[in-house]
Structure 1
Amino acid sequence: MVRVSGFVFNVSGYESLVSGFGFRVCSFEFQGFEFRFWGLKFRVMGLKFWVVGFGLRVLGFG
């Protein structure tokens, strides 16, 4: 769980790694609303980036 600017983001789901890449189902809670989507995860310089189906990039830590 990552807390940013008073908002809580929950990232959960399953992960299947293939050649350093992984797909994960993400669940985000934002002001009581929940959004679920498929995303692509890749690691660059120790940081995890999440690229969702509609092109929005969400930076994840962990």
Structure 2
Amino acid sequence: MSNQPSVQVKAEQKKAAPLIGSHGSSPRISSEELLAGNGRLEIVHENEVYRLSRTKNGKLILTK
């Protein structure tokens, strides 16, 4: 797997997820909106790919 984001990922990064509020100085977003209904999301941080996923029990797990 390449460390370079795909064209689709770059296009999706331009879309801002709607905020549902804030808590102090931190923006807040719904996990439903963030995971876009499919229960998984890839996050690129310092050229590493992390996966955020929702379990059958509704918990969130972040894996490398």
What TM-score do you get using the length of structure 1 for normalisation? 0.32
* Structure showing the higher strand proportion among its residues: 1
- Whichever structure has more helix as a proportion of its residues is 2
For normalisation by structure 2, the TM-score amounts to 0.31
Larger radius of gyration, structure 1 or 2? Answer: 2
